[in-house]
Structure 1
Protein backbone atom coordinates (compact mmCIF):
# COMPACT_ATOMS: atom_id res chain seq x y z
CA UNK A 1 0.00 0.00 0.00
CA UNK A 2 1.20 3.50 -0.87
CA UNK A 3 0.42 6.13 1.75
CA UNK A 4 0.32 9.77 0.68
CA UNK A 5 -0.03 12.66 3.11
CA UNK A 6 -1.18 16.26 2.73
CA UNK A 7 -0.16 18.58 5.56
CA UNK A 8 -1.26 22.16 6.18
CA UNK A 9 -2.53 24.46 8.91
CA UNK A 10 -6.23 24.44 9.74
CA UNK A 11 -8.37 26.32 7.25
CA UNK A 12 -5.75 26.61 4.50
CA UNK A 13 -7.70 24.63 1.89
CA UNK A 14 -6.50 21.03 2.27
CA UNK A 15 -9.89 19.41 1.70
CA UNK A 16 -10.43 21.75 -1.26
CA UNK A 17 -7.34 20.34 -3.00
CA UNK A 18 -7.71 16.72 -1.89
CA UNK A 19 -9.57 15.47 -4.98
CA UNK A 20 -7.11 17.01 -7.43
CA UNK A 21 -4.17 15.49 -5.52
CA UNK A 22 -5.88 12.10 -5.45
CA UNK A 23 -6.60 12.32 -9.19
CA UNK A 24 -3.05 13.35 -10.10
CA UNK A 25 -1.50 10.51 -8.06
CA UNK A 26 -4.07 7.77 -8.78
CA UNK A 27 -5.04 7.59 -5.12
CA UNK A 28 -8.12 5.47 -4.48
CA UNK A 29 -8.99 6.43 -0.89
CA UNK A 30 -8.86 9.55 1.29
CA UNK A 31 -8.84 9.87 5.08
CA UNK A 32 -10.21 13.30 5.97
CA UNK A 33 -11.27 14.33 9.49
CA UNK A 34 -12.12 10.83 10.67
CA UNK A 35 -13.84 9.39 7.59
CA UNK A 36 -12.70 7.09 4.79
CA UNK A 37 -13.75 8.30 1.32
CA UNK A 38 -13.79 6.28 -1.90
CA UNK A 39 -15.26 7.38 -5.25
CA UNK A 40 -17.58 10.08 -3.92
CA UNK A 41 -18.85 7.89 -1.07
CA UNK A 42 -18.17 7.56 2.66
CA UNK A 43 -16.94 4.02 3.30
CA UNK A 44 -16.82 4.29 7.10
CA UNK A 45 -15.92 6.62 9.93
CA UNK A 46 -17.35 9.40 12.09
CA UNK A 47 -16.52 12.84 10.77
CA UNK A 48 -14.88 15.48 12.94
CA UNK A 49 -16.92 18.05 11.02
CA UNK A 50 -20.09 16.57 12.54
CA UNK A 51 -18.85 16.98 16.12
CA UNK A 52 -20.57 19.34 18.55
CA UNK A 53 -17.34 20.82 19.98
CA UNK A 54 -13.86 21.56 18.67
CA UNK A 55 -12.30 19.16 21.20
CA UNK A 56 -14.55 16.33 20.08
CA UNK A 57 -13.65 17.16 16.46
CA UNK A 58 -9.92 16.82 17.19
CA UNK A 59 -10.39 13.46 18.93
CA UNK A 60 -12.38 12.10 15.99
CA UNK A 61 -9.81 13.29 13.47
CA UNK A 62 -6.98 11.38 15.21
CA UNK A 63 -9.10 8.27 15.95
CA UNK A 64 -8.95 8.59 19.72
CA UNK A 65 -11.98 6.33 20.12
CA UNK A 66 -11.00 2.64 19.96
CA UNK A 67 -14.19 1.50 18.20
CA UNK A 68 -13.85 4.25 15.59
CA UNK A 69 -10.22 3.22 15.05
CA UNK A 70 -11.04 -0.49 14.83
CA UNK A 71 -13.82 0.06 12.27
CA UNK A 72 -11.46 2.10 10.10
CA UNK A 73 -8.73 -0.57 10.19
CA UNK A 74 -11.24 -3.28 9.27
CA UNK A 75 -12.62 -1.21 6.38
CA UNK A 76 -9.13 -0.59 4.97
CA UNK A 77 -8.35 -4.31 5.12
CA UNK A 78 -11.73 -5.37 3.73
CA UNK A 79 -11.48 -3.02 0.73
CA UNK A 80 -7.88 -4.05 -0.02
CA UNK A 81 -6.77 -0.41 -0.18
CA UNK A 82 -3.70 0.00 -2.40
CA UNK A 83 -3.26 3.78 -2.16
CA UNK A 84 -4.54 6.25 0.40
CA UNK A 85 -4.22 9.98 1.15
CA UNK A 86 -4.15 11.17 4.78
CA UNK A 87 -5.04 14.82 5.39
CA UNK A 88 -3.78 16.49 8.56
CA UNK A 89 -2.86 19.80 10.16
CA UNK A 90 0.65 18.68 11.20
CA UNK A 91 3.08 15.87 10.48
CA UNK A 92 2.75 14.78 14.11
CA UNK A 93 -0.99 14.39 13.59
CA UNK A 94 -0.56 12.54 10.30
CA UNK A 95 2.01 10.16 11.76
CA UNK A 96 -0.29 9.48 14.71
CA UNK A 97 -3.18 8.64 12.38
CA UNK A 98 -0.96 6.34 10.27
CA UNK A 99 0.35 4.55 13.39
CA UNK A 100 -3.09 4.13 14.94
CA UNK A 101 -4.48 2.67 11.71
CA UNK A 102 -1.50 0.31 11.24
CA UNK A 103 -0.56 1.91 7.91
CA UNK A 104 2.93 1.60 6.35
CA UNK A 105 5.46 4.44 6.19
CA UNK A 106 4.43 7.49 4.22
CA UNK A 107 5.35 7.11 0.55
CA UNK A 108 4.96 10.78 -0.45
CA UNK A 109 4.62 13.91 1.67
CA UNK A 110 2.87 16.99 0.31
CA UNK A 111 2.92 20.39 2.02
CA UNK A 112 0.20 22.97 1.37
CA UNK A 113 2.91 25.63 0.99
CA UNK A 114 4.24 23.74 -2.05
CA UNK A 115 0.92 23.53 -3.91
CA UNK A 116 -0.90 26.74 -2.89
CA UNK A 117 0.12 30.39 -2.80
CA UNK A 118 0.08 32.45 0.38
CA UNK A 119 -2.81 34.49 -1.06
CA UNK A 120 -4.88 31.33 -1.70
CA UNK A 121 -4.28 30.03 1.82
CA UNK A 122 -5.06 33.44 3.37
CA UNK A 123 -8.35 33.54 1.45
CA UNK A 124 -9.23 30.04 2.68
CA UNK A 125 -8.45 31.05 6.28
CA UNK A 126 -10.63 34.12 5.91
CA UNK A 127 -13.58 31.99 4.78
CA UNK A 128 -13.05 29.63 7.75
CA UNK A 129 -12.70 32.36 10.38
CA UNK A 130 -15.40 34.74 9.15
CA UNK A 131 -18.04 32.27 7.98
CA UNK A 132 -17.09 28.98 9.68
CA UNK A 133 -17.14 27.29 6.26
CA UNK A 134 -15.52 23.86 5.80
CA UNK A 135 -15.12 21.88 2.59
CA UNK A 136 -15.77 18.15 2.33
CA UNK A 137 -14.49 16.29 -0.78
CA UNK A 138 -17.84 14.62 -1.40
CA UNK A 139 -21.00 15.46 -3.37
CA UNK A 140 -23.80 17.16 -1.42
CA UNK A 141 -26.24 14.23 -1.71
CA UNK A 142 -23.69 12.00 0.05
CA UNK A 143 -22.75 14.58 2.69
CA UNK A 144 -26.35 15.25 3.74
CA UNK A 145 -26.77 11.60 4.75
CA UNK A 146 -24.00 11.88 7.35
CA UNK A 147 -23.62 15.51 8.43
CA UNK A 148 -25.57 18.11 10.36
CA UNK A 149 -25.12 21.82 9.77
CA UNK A 150 -25.79 24.46 7.16
CA UNK A 151 -25.03 23.47 3.56
CA UNK A 152 -24.15 26.00 0.87
CA UNK A 153 -23.60 25.70 -2.87
CA UNK A 154 -21.41 22.76 -3.97
CA UNK A 155 -18.24 23.15 -6.04
CA UNK A 156 -17.98 21.10 -9.24
CA UNK A 157 -14.60 20.02 -10.65
CA UNK A 158 -13.73 18.42 -13.98
CA UNK A 159 -10.75 16.09 -14.45
CA UNK A 160 -9.45 14.05 -17.40
CA UNK A 161 -8.65 10.43 -16.71
CA UNK A 162 -5.96 8.33 -18.40
CA UNK A 163 -8.22 7.80 -21.42
CA UNK A 164 -8.85 11.58 -21.73
CA UNK A 165 -12.46 11.07 -20.64
CA UNK A 166 -13.89 13.95 -18.62
CA UNK A 167 -14.97 13.05 -15.09
CA UNK A 168 -16.94 15.33 -12.80
CA UNK A 169 -16.31 15.55 -9.05
CA UNK A 170 -18.15 17.60 -6.48
CA UNK A 171 -17.11 19.17 -3.19
CA UNK A 172 -19.56 20.39 -0.58
CA UNK A 173 -19.31 23.52 1.53
CA UNK A 174 -20.70 23.14 5.04
CA UNK A 175 -20.83 25.19 8.22
CA UNK A 176 -20.73 22.43 10.88
CA UNK A 177 -22.50 22.28 14.23
CA UNK A 178 -19.32 23.48 15.97
CA UNK A 179 -17.76 26.72 14.79
CA UNK A 180 -14.25 28.14 14.74
CA UNK A 181 -15.84 31.49 15.63
CA UNK A 182 -16.21 30.19 19.17
CA UNK A 183 -19.31 29.48 21.21
CA UNK A 184 -22.06 32.05 21.06
CA UNK A 185 -25.65 32.24 22.18
CA UNK A 186 -28.63 33.92 20.56
CA UNK A 187 -31.66 34.29 22.82
CA UNK A 188 -35.04 32.92 21.86
CA UNK A 189 -36.39 36.45 22.24
CA UNK A 190 -34.09 37.69 19.48
CA UNK A 191 -35.01 34.80 17.17
CA UNK A 192 -38.70 35.35 17.91
CA UNK A 193 -38.38 39.05 17.05
CA UNK A 194 -36.77 38.18 13.69
CA UNK A 195 -39.53 35.67 12.88
CA UNK A 196 -42.28 38.10 13.96
CA UNK A 197 -40.87 40.84 11.76
CA UNK A 198 -40.49 38.53 8.75
CA UNK A 199 -44.08 37.32 9.12
CA UNK A 200 -45.35 40.89 8.64
CA UNK A 201 -43.98 40.78 5.08
CA UNK A 202 -46.57 38.19 3.99
CA UNK A 203 -49.83 39.77 2.89
CA UNK A 204 -51.74 36.50 3.22
CA UNK A 205 -50.84 36.08 6.91
CA UNK A 206 -53.65 37.69 8.90
CA UNK A 207 -52.11 36.98 12.30
CA UNK A 208 -49.12 35.21 13.87
CA UNK A 209 -50.63 33.54 16.92
CA UNK A 210 -47.58 31.87 18.49
CA UNK A 211 -43.90 31.07 17.81
CA UNK A 212 -42.27 28.11 19.57
CA UNK A 213 -38.47 27.69 19.31
CA UNK A 214 -36.53 24.59 20.37
CA UNK A 215 -32.70 24.41 20.45
CA UNK A 216 -30.74 21.18 20.00
CA UNK A 217 -27.14 20.22 19.23
CA UNK A 218 -27.56 20.50 15.47
CA UNK A 219 -29.61 23.70 15.29
CA UNK A 220 -33.09 25.04 15.98
CA UNK A 221 -36.64 23.90 15.28
CA UNK A 222 -39.43 26.45 14.94
CA UNK A 223 -43.19 25.90 15.14
CA UNK A 224 -45.42 28.80 14.08
CA UNK A 225 -49.20 29.01 14.48
CA UNK A 226 -50.80 31.41 11.99
CA UNK A 227 -54.13 32.68 10.70
CA UNK A 228 -54.10 32.64 6.87
CA UNK A 229 -56.25 33.83 4.01
CA UNK A 230 -57.75 31.06 1.86
CA UNK A 231 -55.52 31.61 -1.18
CA UNK A 232 -53.25 28.73 -2.21
CA UNK A 233 -52.48 27.83 1.39
CA UNK A 234 -49.78 25.28 0.54
CA UNK A 235 -47.90 27.77 -1.63
CA UNK A 236 -48.08 30.39 1.11
CA UNK A 237 -46.65 28.01 3.72
CA UNK A 238 -43.77 26.95 1.47
CA UNK A 239 -42.96 30.60 0.77
CA UNK A 240 -42.96 31.42 4.50
CA UNK A 241 -40.72 28.45 5.29
CA UNK A 242 -38.18 29.30 2.58
CA UNK A 243 -37.96 33.01 3.42
CA UNK A 244 -37.69 32.44 7.19
CA UNK A 245 -35.04 29.74 6.70
CA UNK A 246 -32.86 32.02 4.57
CA UNK A 247 -33.28 35.03 6.84
CA UNK A 248 -32.53 33.18 10.10
CA UNK A 249 -29.48 31.34 8.77
CA UNK A 250 -28.00 34.49 7.22
CA UNK A 251 -28.79 36.67 10.25
CA UNK A 252 -27.97 34.37 13.18
CA UNK A 253 -25.52 31.81 11.62
CA UNK A 254 -27.60 29.11 13.31
CA UNK A 255 -28.57 25.93 11.46
CA UNK A 256 -32.34 25.77 11.13
CA UNK A 257 -33.46 22.12 11.21
CA UNK A 258 -37.11 22.79 10.44
CA UNK A 259 -39.82 25.44 10.30
CA UNK A 260 -43.31 24.02 10.78
CA UNK A 261 -46.33 26.16 9.89
CA UNK A 262 -49.53 25.30 11.78
CA UNK A 263 -52.66 26.90 10.31
CA UNK A 264 -55.06 27.29 13.22
CA UNK A 265 -57.57 29.61 11.56
CA UNK A 266 -58.45 31.24 8.24
CA UNK A 267 -59.68 34.72 7.40
Structure 2
Protein backbone atom coordinates (compact mmCIF):
# COMPACT_ATOMS: atom_id res chain seq x y z
CA UNK A 1 0.00 0.00 0.00
CA UNK A 2 1.32 3.43 -0.97
CA UNK A 3 0.43 6.08 1.61
CA UNK A 4 0.24 9.67 0.48
CA UNK A 5 -0.13 12.40 3.12
CA UNK A 6 -1.56 15.88 2.64
CA UNK A 7 -0.31 18.04 5.51
CA UNK A 8 -1.20 21.57 6.57
CA UNK A 9 -2.57 23.56 9.50
CA UNK A 10 -6.25 23.36 10.32
CA UNK A 11 -8.44 25.46 8.05
CA UNK A 12 -5.98 25.81 5.14
CA UNK A 13 -8.11 23.91 2.63
CA UNK A 14 -6.82 20.32 2.77
CA UNK A 15 -10.26 18.72 2.44
CA UNK A 16 -11.06 21.14 -0.38
CA UNK A 17 -7.98 20.04 -2.33
CA UNK A 18 -8.08 16.35 -1.40
CA UNK A 19 -10.25 15.10 -4.28
CA UNK A 20 -8.23 16.93 -6.93
CA UNK A 21 -4.99 15.58 -5.46
CA UNK A 22 -6.41 12.05 -5.31
CA UNK A 23 -7.74 12.29 -8.87
CA UNK A 24 -4.40 13.57 -10.17
CA UNK A 25 -2.48 10.69 -8.51
CA UNK A 26 -5.11 7.99 -9.25
CA UNK A 27 -5.82 7.50 -5.56
CA UNK A 28 -9.26 6.03 -4.88
CA UNK A 29 -9.18 6.09 -1.07
CA UNK A 30 -8.99 9.02 1.35
CA UNK A 31 -8.76 9.09 5.15
CA UNK A 32 -10.02 12.43 6.44
CA UNK A 33 -11.33 13.45 9.87
CA UNK A 34 -12.14 9.92 11.01
CA UNK A 35 -13.68 8.75 7.72
CA UNK A 36 -12.50 6.19 5.17
CA UNK A 37 -13.74 7.38 1.78
CA UNK A 38 -13.73 5.35 -1.45
CA UNK A 39 -14.21 7.54 -4.51
CA UNK A 40 -17.42 9.44 -3.65
CA UNK A 41 -18.67 7.20 -0.87
CA UNK A 42 -18.04 6.91 2.88
CA UNK A 43 -17.33 3.24 3.53
CA UNK A 44 -16.19 3.32 7.19
CA UNK A 45 -15.56 5.55 10.16
CA UNK A 46 -17.29 8.30 12.11
CA UNK A 47 -16.88 11.90 11.00
CA UNK A 48 -15.09 14.24 13.40
CA UNK A 49 -17.53 16.88 12.15
CA UNK A 50 -20.26 15.12 14.14
CA UNK A 51 -18.39 15.67 17.40
CA UNK A 52 -19.86 18.06 19.96
CA UNK A 53 -16.52 19.54 21.03
CA UNK A 54 -13.18 20.33 19.41
CA UNK A 55 -11.39 17.85 21.71
CA UNK A 56 -13.78 15.07 20.73
CA UNK A 57 -13.28 15.97 17.05
CA UNK A 58 -9.50 15.69 17.38
CA UNK A 59 -9.79 12.29 19.08
CA UNK A 60 -11.99 10.99 16.29
CA UNK A 61 -9.64 12.32 13.62
CA UNK A 62 -6.76 10.24 15.04
CA UNK A 63 -8.95 7.17 15.72
CA UNK A 64 -8.57 7.32 19.47
CA UNK A 65 -11.71 5.23 20.13
CA UNK A 66 -11.00 1.51 19.87
CA UNK A 67 -14.30 0.55 18.20
CA UNK A 68 -13.94 3.36 15.65
CA UNK A 69 -10.35 2.34 14.97
CA UNK A 70 -11.10 -1.37 14.60
CA UNK A 71 -13.99 -0.83 12.17
CA UNK A 72 -11.81 1.26 9.85
CA UNK A 73 -8.88 -1.18 10.14
CA UNK A 74 -11.15 -4.06 9.13
CA UNK A 75 -12.50 -2.18 6.13
CA UNK A 76 -8.99 -1.31 4.96
CA UNK A 77 -8.09 -5.00 5.07
CA UNK A 78 -11.26 -5.98 3.20
CA UNK A 79 -10.74 -3.40 0.47
CA UNK A 80 -7.13 -4.43 -0.25
CA UNK A 81 -6.18 -0.82 -0.83
CA UNK A 82 -3.18 -0.08 -3.06
CA UNK A 83 -3.10 3.71 -2.57
CA UNK A 84 -4.55 5.96 0.13
CA UNK A 85 -4.39 9.68 0.83
CA UNK A 86 -4.35 10.67 4.53
CA UNK A 87 -5.11 14.24 5.59
CA UNK A 88 -3.54 15.69 8.73
CA UNK A 89 -2.46 18.91 10.38
CA UNK A 90 1.12 17.69 10.91
CA UNK A 91 3.49 14.82 10.20
CA UNK A 92 2.95 13.74 13.80
CA UNK A 93 -0.79 13.42 13.26
CA UNK A 94 -0.25 11.44 10.05
CA UNK A 95 2.07 9.04 11.87
CA UNK A 96 -0.47 8.66 14.69
CA UNK A 97 -3.15 7.64 12.19
CA UNK A 98 -0.78 5.22 10.45
CA UNK A 99 0.13 3.66 13.80
CA UNK A 100 -3.48 3.41 15.01
CA UNK A 101 -4.71 1.82 11.79
CA UNK A 102 -1.60 -0.39 11.55
CA UNK A 103 -0.85 0.41 7.93
CA UNK A 104 2.53 0.72 6.24
CA UNK A 105 4.95 3.61 6.21
CA UNK A 106 4.58 6.84 4.31
CA UNK A 107 5.30 6.92 0.58
CA UNK A 108 4.98 10.64 -0.08
CA UNK A 109 4.23 13.78 1.98
CA UNK A 110 2.60 16.75 0.23
CA UNK A 111 2.29 20.11 1.97
CA UNK A 112 -0.84 22.15 1.31
CA UNK A 113 1.44 25.04 0.29
CA UNK A 114 2.75 22.91 -2.57
CA UNK A 115 -0.67 22.60 -4.21
CA UNK A 116 -2.48 25.77 -3.06
CA UNK A 117 -1.63 29.41 -3.64
CA UNK A 118 -1.36 31.87 -0.75
CA UNK A 119 -4.65 33.38 -1.90
CA UNK A 120 -6.42 30.00 -1.85
CA UNK A 121 -5.13 29.30 1.65
CA UNK A 122 -6.22 32.76 2.79
CA UNK A 123 -9.74 32.19 1.40
CA UNK A 124 -9.88 28.80 3.14
CA UNK A 125 -8.89 30.36 6.45
CA UNK A 126 -11.58 33.02 6.15
CA UNK A 127 -14.15 30.34 5.39
CA UNK A 128 -13.07 28.38 8.46
CA UNK A 129 -13.45 31.49 10.62
CA UNK A 130 -17.11 31.50 9.58
CA UNK A 131 -17.41 27.93 10.88
CA UNK A 132 -17.35 26.20 7.47
CA UNK A 133 -15.71 22.78 7.08
CA UNK A 134 -15.47 20.67 3.93
CA UNK A 135 -15.94 16.91 3.63
CA UNK A 136 -14.68 15.47 0.31
CA UNK A 137 -17.86 13.53 -0.55
CA UNK A 138 -21.22 14.49 -2.13
CA UNK A 139 -23.95 16.00 0.02
CA UNK A 140 -26.15 12.94 -0.46
CA UNK A 141 -23.55 10.95 1.49
CA UNK A 142 -23.47 13.42 4.36
CA UNK A 143 -27.18 14.05 4.97
CA UNK A 144 -27.91 10.68 6.64
CA UNK A 145 -25.12 11.19 9.21
CA UNK A 146 -25.45 14.92 9.83
CA UNK A 147 -29.14 15.50 10.38
CA UNK A 148 -29.93 18.99 11.65
CA UNK A 149 -26.58 20.51 10.72
CA UNK A 150 -26.03 23.23 8.12
CA UNK A 151 -25.09 21.46 4.86
CA UNK A 152 -24.37 22.87 1.38
CA UNK A 153 -23.13 21.30 -1.82
CA UNK A 154 -20.02 22.46 -3.68
CA UNK A 155 -19.41 21.29 -7.25
CA UNK A 156 -16.60 22.02 -9.66
CA UNK A 157 -14.90 20.55 -12.70
CA UNK A 158 -11.30 19.44 -12.37
CA UNK A 159 -9.09 18.95 -15.42
CA UNK A 160 -6.18 16.55 -15.20
CA UNK A 161 -2.89 16.98 -17.10
CA UNK A 162 -4.11 14.62 -19.85
CA UNK A 163 -7.10 16.97 -20.36
CA UNK A 164 -9.65 14.53 -18.96
CA UNK A 165 -12.31 16.26 -16.85
CA UNK A 166 -14.13 15.13 -13.77
CA UNK A 167 -17.06 16.66 -11.89
CA UNK A 168 -16.03 16.80 -8.25
CA UNK A 169 -18.64 17.33 -5.56
CA UNK A 170 -17.83 18.23 -1.98
CA UNK A 171 -19.93 19.17 1.01
CA UNK A 172 -19.68 22.29 3.13
CA UNK A 173 -20.83 21.61 6.67
CA UNK A 174 -20.98 23.67 9.83
CA UNK A 175 -20.33 21.23 12.70
CA UNK A 176 -21.74 21.55 16.20
CA UNK A 177 -18.39 22.62 17.63
CA UNK A 178 -18.20 25.43 15.04
CA UNK A 179 -21.52 27.07 15.69
CA UNK A 180 -21.59 26.85 19.47
CA UNK A 181 -20.34 30.42 19.08
CA UNK A 182 -17.65 32.67 20.51
CA UNK A 183 -17.39 33.39 24.20
CA UNK A 184 -16.75 36.81 25.64
CA UNK A 185 -15.17 37.83 28.93
CA UNK A 186 -16.57 41.07 30.30
CA UNK A 187 -13.93 43.70 31.09
CA UNK A 188 -15.38 43.89 34.63
CA UNK A 189 -14.28 40.30 35.19
CA UNK A 190 -10.74 41.13 34.11
CA UNK A 191 -10.74 44.19 36.36
CA UNK A 192 -11.76 42.01 39.31
CA UNK A 193 -8.86 39.66 38.62
CA UNK A 194 -6.47 42.64 38.49
CA UNK A 195 -7.89 44.05 41.74
CA UNK A 196 -7.47 40.70 43.48
CA UNK A 197 -3.87 40.27 42.33
CA UNK A 198 -3.02 43.86 43.26
CA UNK A 199 -4.53 43.47 46.74
CA UNK A 200 -1.89 40.85 47.54
CA UNK A 201 0.72 43.63 47.64
CA UNK A 202 0.22 45.14 51.11
CA UNK A 203 2.15 48.32 50.39
CA UNK A 204 -0.46 49.42 47.85
CA UNK A 205 -2.80 51.82 49.63
CA UNK A 206 -5.47 52.29 46.97
CA UNK A 207 -6.40 51.36 43.44
CA UNK A 208 -7.68 54.52 41.77
CA UNK A 209 -8.38 53.26 38.30
CA UNK A 210 -8.16 50.15 36.14
CA UNK A 211 -8.44 50.34 32.38
CA UNK A 212 -8.53 47.34 30.04
CA UNK A 213 -8.07 48.10 26.33
CA UNK A 214 -8.96 45.53 23.70
CA UNK A 215 -6.28 45.14 21.00
CA UNK A 216 -8.13 42.48 18.92
CA UNK A 217 -5.93 39.48 19.76
CA UNK A 218 -4.66 40.83 23.07
CA UNK A 219 -5.35 43.42 25.78
CA UNK A 220 -3.50 46.32 27.35
CA UNK A 221 -3.87 47.04 31.08
CA UNK A 222 -3.49 50.41 32.77
CA UNK A 223 -3.38 50.61 36.56
CA UNK A 224 -3.44 53.83 38.61
CA UNK A 225 -2.51 53.31 42.28
CA UNK A 226 -1.53 55.02 45.52
CA UNK A 227 1.25 53.48 47.62
CA UNK A 228 2.13 53.78 51.29
CA UNK A 229 5.81 52.90 50.98
CA UNK A 230 8.25 54.39 48.52
CA UNK A 231 10.07 51.07 48.26
CA UNK A 232 7.00 49.75 46.46
CA UNK A 233 8.11 51.71 43.41
CA UNK A 234 10.96 49.28 42.96
CA UNK A 235 8.52 46.37 43.18
CA UNK A 236 6.28 47.63 40.37
CA UNK A 237 7.90 45.17 37.97
CA UNK A 238 6.76 42.31 40.20
CA UNK A 239 3.21 43.70 40.22
CA UNK A 240 3.25 43.91 36.41
CA UNK A 241 4.53 40.35 36.15
CA UNK A 242 1.92 38.90 38.52
CA UNK A 243 -0.98 40.71 36.86
CA UNK A 244 0.12 39.57 33.39
CA UNK A 245 0.67 35.94 34.47
CA UNK A 246 -2.60 35.56 36.33
CA UNK A 247 -4.84 37.34 33.82
CA UNK A 248 -3.43 35.17 31.02
CA UNK A 249 -3.73 32.02 33.12
CA UNK A 250 -7.33 32.71 34.17
CA UNK A 251 -8.77 34.08 30.91
CA UNK A 252 -6.40 32.67 28.23
CA UNK A 253 -6.23 36.20 26.83
CA UNK A 254 -2.81 37.49 25.78
CA UNK A 255 -1.72 40.55 27.79
CA UNK A 256 0.47 42.74 25.62
CA UNK A 257 1.51 45.19 28.35
CA UNK A 258 0.75 46.33 31.89
CA UNK A 259 1.31 50.02 32.61
CA UNK A 260 1.35 51.15 36.25
CA UNK A 261 0.99 54.79 37.18
CA UNK A 262 1.76 55.73 40.79
CA UNK A 263 -0.52 58.64 41.58
CA UNK A 264 0.80 59.49 45.05
CA UNK A 265 2.34 58.27 48.28
CA UNK A 266 0.12 57.94 51.32
CA UNK A 267 0.07 61.14 53.40
CA UNK A 268 0.97 59.33 56.63
CA UNK A 269 4.13 58.07 55.07
CA UNK A 270 4.99 61.50 53.66
CA UNK A 271 4.53 63.21 57.08
CA UNK A 272 6.78 60.68 58.79
CA UNK A 273 9.53 61.28 56.32
Normalising by structure 2, what TM-score?
A: 0.63
Q: Say whether 1:137 aligns with 2:136.
A: yes
Q: 1:180 & 1:6 partners in 2: Cα distance?
A: 26
Q: Structure 2: how far apart are the matches of 1:8 and 1:180?
A: 23
Aligned equivalent of 1:74: 74
> 2:171 aligned with 1:172, yes or no?
yes
Decide whether the 8 Å contact of 1:128 with 1:180 is kept in 2.
Answer: no
CA distance, structure 1, for counterparts of residue 138 and residue 151 of structure 2: 11
**Contact 1:29 1:38 (C-alpha < 8 Å) held by counterparts:** yes
SS at match of 1:84: strand
Which residue number corresponds to residue 124 of structure 1? 124
Aligned position for 1:203: none
**Structure 1 residue 39, shift from structure 2 partner:** 1.7
The residue aligned with 1:102 is 102
Matches within 5 A, 1:13-162: 13-129=13-129, 131-148=130-147, 149-152=149-152, 154-159=153-158
3-state DSSP class of the match of 1:144? Answer: helix
What secondary structure sits across from 1:71 in the alignment?
Answer: helix
State the number of aligned residues. Answer: 183
Between the aligned partners of 2:164 and 2:21, the Cα distance in structure 1 is 18
Taking the aligned partners of 1:160 and 1:122, their CA distance within structure 2 comes to 23
Distance 1:76 1:128 in 2: 30
Q: SS state of the match for residue 95, structure 1?
A: helix
For residues 146 and 94 of structure 1, do their structure 2 counterparts lie closer, same or farther at Cα, with a shift above 3 Å needed?
same
CA distance, structure 1, for counterparts of residue 145 and residue 21 of structure 2? 24
- Compared CA separation, residues 71 and 112, structure 1 to 2 (3 A): same
Q: What do residues 75-105 of structure 1 show as CA deviations (whole Å, max 9, x unaligned)? A: 0000111100000011100110011111111
Task: Report the alpha carbon displacement of residue 176 of structure 1 after superposing the two structures with TM.
Answer: 0.9
What is the CA-CA distance between 1:181 and the residue it aligns to? 7.0
Q: For 1:163 and 1:121, locate their aligned partners in 2 and report how far apart those are by CA, in whole Å.
A: 26
- Shift in alpha-carbon separation, 1:181–1:52, aligned structure 2, 3 A: closer
CA distance in 2, matches of 1:145, 1:156: 19
Quote the offset at 1:157 in angstroms: 2.4
Q: Distance in 2 between matches of 1:78 and 1:70?
A: 12
| Structure 2: runs of 5+ lacking an equivalent | 185-273
Question: 8 Å contact 1:132–1:181 — kept in the other structure?
Answer: no
Q: Secondary structure at the residue paired with 1:72?
A: helix
Q: How many Å apart are 1:163 and its aligned residue?
A: 8.4
1:17-43 deviation line (CA, Å, top 9, x unaligned): 000000011101000000000121100
Aligned residue in 2 for 1:11: 11
Distance 1:123 1:162 in 2: 25
Is the 8 Å Cα contact of residues 2 and 106 (structure 1) preserved in structure 2? yes
The list of structure 1 runs, each at least 4 consecutive aligned residues, that deviate by more than 4 angstroms after superposition, is: 160-165, 180-185
1:216 — aligned with what?
Answer: none
Cα-Cα RMSD: 2.0
Q: Which runs of 5+ in 1 are unaligned?
A: 186-267
Higher alpha-carbon Rg: 2
Deviation at 1:159, TM superposition (A): 3.7
CA apart distance, 1:172: 0.8
TM-score, with structure 1 as normaliser: 0.65
